[in-house]
Every structure is written in C-alpha cells, then in structure tokens.
Amino acid sequence: MSRVAIFGGHGKIALRLAPLLVARGHEVGAIIRNPEHVNDVANAGATPVVADIETLDVEKIAALIDGFDAVVWSAGAGGGDPKRTYAVDRDAAIRSVDASGRAGVSRYVMVSYFGAGPDHGVDPGTSFHAYADAKASADEYLRTTSLEWTILGPSALTLEPGTGSITTRDAGATGASVTRDDVAAAIAAALDDKSTVGRFIEFDNGDTPIADALRG
C-alpha cells in the first residue's frame, strides 16, 4: 500500500481515480479548494484535504503532501480567465513539483493533454492558448527535475463509459477522444508501472488494454 495525493481532487477524473486507487490498496488524499466538496471526495474513498493551492507557497504545499508516496496533478483553473489559468496550471503546478522534491515524494504523475509542449501551435488569439502555454511550461519544468515523473496526455475528454482500452500516439493515436473513466484507469496503472517513468504518453481510446498500452 502507498499513499497517493491527488491535486484537483474534486475533478471529474479525480473522482473516478480515487476509488480505483483504493481498490488497488492505496490510501488517497484528495486536495480540494471548496469545503462543500468534502462529502463527494469522501464518498469516492479519499480523505479530503481542504487547501487553496493557488495561494500556497512551496513550503505549505510540501507540508500538505508530507508522508505521501506519490502525487497526481489533476488540478486546473478550468479555462476562462487567462491570469488564473497561469496561476493554477503553470505556477501552482510548478510549486507542487518543487514541494514534492522538498517533501521527499519522488513519484509524480502529471495529467496534461494530447499535443502539449512548447511547439503546441495554439493560436495566441484563442481562448485555449493560455492553457496550452501554461501546461507546456509546467510539463517542461517537471522534465528537468529528478522526480520519477510521468506525463499523461489524454486527447479530448468524454463522459462515455470506460472501455478499458487505449491507443498511444506511438502506436498511431491521432488525438481523437478518450473517456474520463479510461484516463483515470491510465493514471492508476501508470502510478504502479515503473516503465512509465520519464515518459510523456499521449493516448486516445483504442484497442489495447490500458496496462499493456502504457508499457508500449
């Protein structure tokens, strides 16, 4: 059993991830901003931790995750205000990476998106640009660390039932779509699979069982 901290613990993916991790024997701490979400998180099997990561410095984030064995970053500003997008998706994410190192939490899984990176090509005039730019910065920062990191890049997210199967970009995925159920399952599988360390894995729904697809 290990202890896993999920940033963005009330998100649609995180609420699917928590019970999967619990079923695997892990203990889950879900970091959430809104105290009204405590019951939802607890019902998913996680221990709620109420904290506004947008305002916490590295030292305070490190204190939140002290004693955990792994971190999952699944938080986000949710689009809209570019200033807040940078504050959460870039700045808070980077602080969580630094905090993980400070707290001795070596395993870190970042949820990004299909096509993320400095060469994302998103038009600066579009509403998606701030998110793409913020994620590129956070992902690139994580890559420079000595953490045991994995970056997952799911394509367009759907609410369809999970299939249990994906196709990675290396195996021909084009960035079509993937269910949130399957993203959660991919996170759970990646956490327990050391072969995913140091890799950016982009994926769609497909025809290969998730654990097999992640191993490449």
Nearest to 216, CA basis, from 183, 172, 176? 172
Residue 195: exposure state from Cβ atoms within 10 A (0-12, 13-18, ≥19) = exposed
**Residue 10 CB neighbour total at 10 angstroms:** 22
The stretches of the chain forming alpha helices (DSSP H) are 12-23, 38-43, 58-65, 82-85, 93-103, 129-143, 180-191, 210-215
Could you tell me the two tokens for 69? 């064995």
131 catalytic, yes or no?
A: yes
Rounded Cα distance, 183 and 149, in Å = 17
**Residue 55 CB neighbour total at 10 angstroms:** 10
Block residue for tokens 């947008």: 54
Do residues 161 and 117 make contact, with C-beta atoms less than 8 angstroms apart?
Answer: no
Question: Given 86, 108, 113, 131, which residue is catalytic?
Answer: 131
Which residues are tagged catalytic? 131
